[in-house]
Amino acid sequence: MQVHADHDRLFSALADATRRDIVRRALDGAEGVVELAEHYPMSFAAVQKHVAILERAGLVTKHRIGRRKVVRTNVEGLRAAQRLLDQYELLWRARVDRMNAILAESTEATP
Amino acid sequence: MQVHADHDRLFSALADATRRDIVRRALDGAEGVVELAEHYPMSFAAVQKHVAILERAGLVTKHRIGRRKVVRTNVEGLRAAQRLLDQYELLWRARVDRMNAILAESTEATP
DNA sequence: CGCACATACAACCGTATGGTTGTACTTGAT
DNA sequence: ATCAAGTACAACCATACGGTTGTATGTGCG
């Protein structure tokens, strides 16, 4: 149940172009919230909220540097999303394999 | 701009536990909307809406079989999400490589 | 044909979301 | 000690979202 909520937060955090761009920019881990905000046509507070959402989703972390707080992407968060998608792919492949096995059986039974 | 909207739809479709479960179930591509709906504690119409959202996101397709419409997961849709996440990973690795190169340079300059 | 089943869609409701402005708390520089 | 930069947070507003019920549409069967 809790796992689902984590995944909800993860994907809904990624479901916004501004937030995805913040994730991309924060891969360098060099900008504070003010600097980030300057890239987007919205208020500083709005960007701050986006960062907070990404933080709660485990996609970025904040680190104090001087009087700024630098935003840095947490690659492990991205990997969590990748793993979930990989699981679907694995289930799908397993099903394809099962079907192939069945098909192989039936064709070898009818020469 | 349009690409962003596609990605928005893709990830926000995945940002709901019920919808993720529908994606999982529809990997088998065997159930119609009514059968799907029976698995969840909500009305048929609600499930129908979820399926519509997944369909618009390109994550499932519907196929008429008899008087039912079978819901089937579109694995290519899942892959689109994977590719996007992979791109972030690639950017991140590129940055790590750049940093390693810089570090190697500076250490070989100070024997 | 006529009925029942599977699906589709519209109207509505409460709550979450993305945005705004305004105020308050730290921290570094002067 | 003071002031400004950087950040945090609360209150508010419009719209989107997840859910409901109710009504239509289309398809198979007797």
3-state helix, strand, coil in chain B (%, to 5): 70, 10, 20
pLDDT score at B66: 87
Three-class secondary structure of residue B70 per DSSP: strand
Kindly list the residues from chain A whose CB atom is less than 8 angstroms away from the CB atom of residue B79: 89
Judged against a pLDDT cut of 60, whether residue B64 lies above it is answered with: yes
Q: Which fold has domain B2-109?
A: Arc Repressor Mutant, subunit A (1.10.10)
pLDDT score at A105: 75
pLDDT score at A59: 97
Q: Give the mutation candidate from A3, A9, A11 for the B interface (greatest B CB count, under 10 A).
A: A11
Does any CB of chain B come closer than 8 Å to the CB of residue A102? no
State how far the Cα of B89 lies from the Cα of B60, in Å rounded to an integer: 26
- Spans of chain A, pLDDT less than 50: 111
CA B108 to chain centre: 45
In this complex, the answer to whether residue B37 has its CB under 7 A from any atom of chain D, a nucleic strand, is no
pLDDT score at A110: 54
Does any CB of chain A come closer than 8 Å to the CB of residue B78? yes
Q: Which residue has its C-alpha nearest to nucleotide C6's C1'?
A: B68
pLDDT score at A109: 59
Closest CB to B82 among A8, A27, A85: A85
CATH number for domain A2-108, candidates 3.90.550.10, 1.10.3720.10, 1.10.10.10, 3.40.718.10: 1.10.10.10
B18 contacts: CB under 8 Å, gap ≥ 6: B40, B42, B47, B50
DSSP category for residue B42: S
